[in-house]
Amino acid sequence: MTKTTPIFTALLVAGAPLPLLAQDNVPSSSPVSSSNEITVAVGVGLTPSYEGSDDYSVTPGILVRGKVAGMPFFSRGTNLHLDVVPNHDEGGWDIGFGPIISARFNRTGRIKDARVKALGKLDTAIELGAWAGIAKAGVITSAYDNLSFRVSVLADVAGAHKSMIITPAIEYMTPLSQTTLVGLSLSADYVGKGYGRTYYDIDAAGSTASSLAVYNGAGDSSGFSKMSINLAAGKSLSGDIRKGWALFAIGGYGRILGDYARSPIVKTAGSRDQWLGALGVAYTF
């Protein structure tokens, strides 16, 4: 949303929504308001090598935010969002809506577990969809904190998992000073049958190749596959979080749920507990 455009989210973590670390279109007296048009962030993240893995990989990343013809855009992990709804509300309310394009690299490479690797690499999923949400500034700690709720819907258009992902999320961000912000987010992924079948089920041929047991429980029905909680913080190096250089840190925990957690890909070869962390630097101008 325009009031909660991110400095940085996760590094190449598909579908990992995180708290937003900068605001736009807020009163100029706010310690986090800004008329700047773009933020670029670079850093490294430690993430599971695949969804459900207990092995971790270091991943570099670059993310951006800005405006095109007055419409904000922002990237989250491997998702790119565009907000097409103009907002001029003086009461702190912000309605957001727009398209999303995403690339999902789950099990396309960097697989460390030999058993899961023997199941074979999967195709990259190209997903298209939309998001909608509402945010309110000035709700708890000050006139400049922000509470938002949003839902995104993505569908695979490249035939990788031939399914959809619905992600509701609630996020809270507050400035601690003119130089420091912190944020917290809660989210969950609701996935279709094709998603569970592609990323969690194991057929007879896969079982023979990997020594993992045959499993078809994840593709039987749609359901919530994962929940996540993430904490982020940003610290300005220029004395003003609205511009110049800033450092950021992100930590998160996710948990694979239900039939997805019972898959041998998770239960035997991986873990339902999913951790992530990221450190980096951002520049706003």
What digits encode the pLDDT tens for the residues 92-136? 888 999 999 999 999 998 899 999 999 999 999 999 999 999 999
pTM: 0.85
pLDDT at 89: 67
Q: How high is the pLDDT of residue 88?
A: 66
Tokens of 153: 């819907």
- Helix residue ranges, H only, 102-185: 114-118
Q: Strand pairing of 71-76 and 273-284?
A: unpaired
The per-residue pLDDT of the chain, averaged, comes to: 85
| Residues sharing a CB contact under 8 Å with residue 243, sequence separation 6 or more, in sequence order | 34, 36, 284, 285
| Helix (H) / strand (E) containing 134 | strand 125-137
Q: Write down the domain spans for the chain.
A: 2-284
The position carrying tokens 């957001």 is 96
- Was domain 2-284 assigned CATH 2.40.160.40? yes
Average pLDDT over residues 157-172: 96
Write out pLDDT tens, residues 166-206.
999 999 999 999 899 999 999 999 999 999 999 999 999 99
CA distance 92 to 30: 12
Q: What are phi and psi of 105, to 5 degrees?
A: -105, 25
- Check residue 204 and give its pLDDT: 98
User: Which tens digits make up the pLDDT trace of 198-243?
Assistant: 999 999 999 999 999 999 999 999 999 999 999 999 999 988 887 8
Give the residues across from 41 on adjacent strands.
63, 282
71/212 Cα distance (integer angstroms): 48
